Amino acid sequence: MNPLAVFAKPWKSLPLPQLAAHIKSLGFDWIELPVRKGFPVEPENIERDLPAAVKLLAEYGIHVLNVTADVPLDDERLYSACAAAGIGMNRVLFRQRELDYWAAEAKARRKLDAALPFCERYAMQIGVQNHSGRFVPVNEMGMFQLLKDYDRRQVAAVWDPAHNALEGIDSDAALDIVAPYLCVVNLKNAYWRRVSGPEAAAAEWSIYWTSGAQGRASWSKVIAKLKAIDYRGPICFSAEYSDEDRVDELIAQDLAFARGLLA
């Protein structure tokens, strides 16, 4: 059975004991833990606070699948703290920013290369997520191009079908390409919403983050394909919704929906 986790970002204001109780009430036993400014574990205190946080959460029955840390990939503190906490993966995003795509990919590769000695020393894996827009990689072919030369035990793919769908990519084809590199599948959903009227000189669009059944990525198709390739790894729910006041309601609905598809 696939371990099911949830990204703890929406509940950043909760102290860890309350966070653990809340995550349990939503139906999860696993979380992705942010190590970011303003969260219970902050980057400057990662060596002290991450192992303590993981231990405390475990006492409440919540396990940490991975972190997503605002710590440079060549900072050994990230790896030593994760090793002390028993965490084996850090999810990362690479922004394209002002660079062209190939220059941004080369920059991402340099960061990964600098991390490899630490990954080997501390048995740590970097999970690279695809993201629509100005990111590297932006789709499954970009994921293949970036990851194909790395040892999957050290650098692997966090595949996000919602971001793939926002770029107009078929999930079956995407999974055919990224399957050999997978370490985690992210689940969320979204669609493009027109925000300009028909009288506008040019159409304007924005992304609307919605429930699992309503977006451009077909969760039923994604999960059917995951079953077909015998993927048994973790699935992490991003809990990202444009209607932020309904996060608890929507994530509970999405967990039930996905469990039904996985059954």
Domains identified in the chain and CATH numbers: 4-262 (3.20.20.150)
| Residue 126 β-bridge partners | 90, 155
Per-residue pLDDT in tens (0 to 9) along the chain, 263 residues:
789 999 999 999 999 999 999 999 999 999 999 999 999 999 999 999 999 999 999 999 999 999 999 999 999 999 999 999 999 999 999 999 899 999 999 999 999 999 999 999 999 999 999 999 999 999 999 999 999 999 999 999 999 999 999 998 889 999 999 999 999 999 999 999 999 998 889 999 999 999 999 999 999 999 999 999 999 999 999 999 999 999 999 999 999 999 999 99
SS3 call for 83:
helix
Q: Which two tokens stand for residue 22?
A: 């809340």
Q: Distance (Å, rounded) from C-alpha 188 to C-alpha 242?
A: 11
Q: Distance (Å, rounded) from C-alpha 33 to C-alpha 160?
A: 17
Q: Distance (Å, rounded) from C-alpha 61 to C-alpha 80?
A: 24
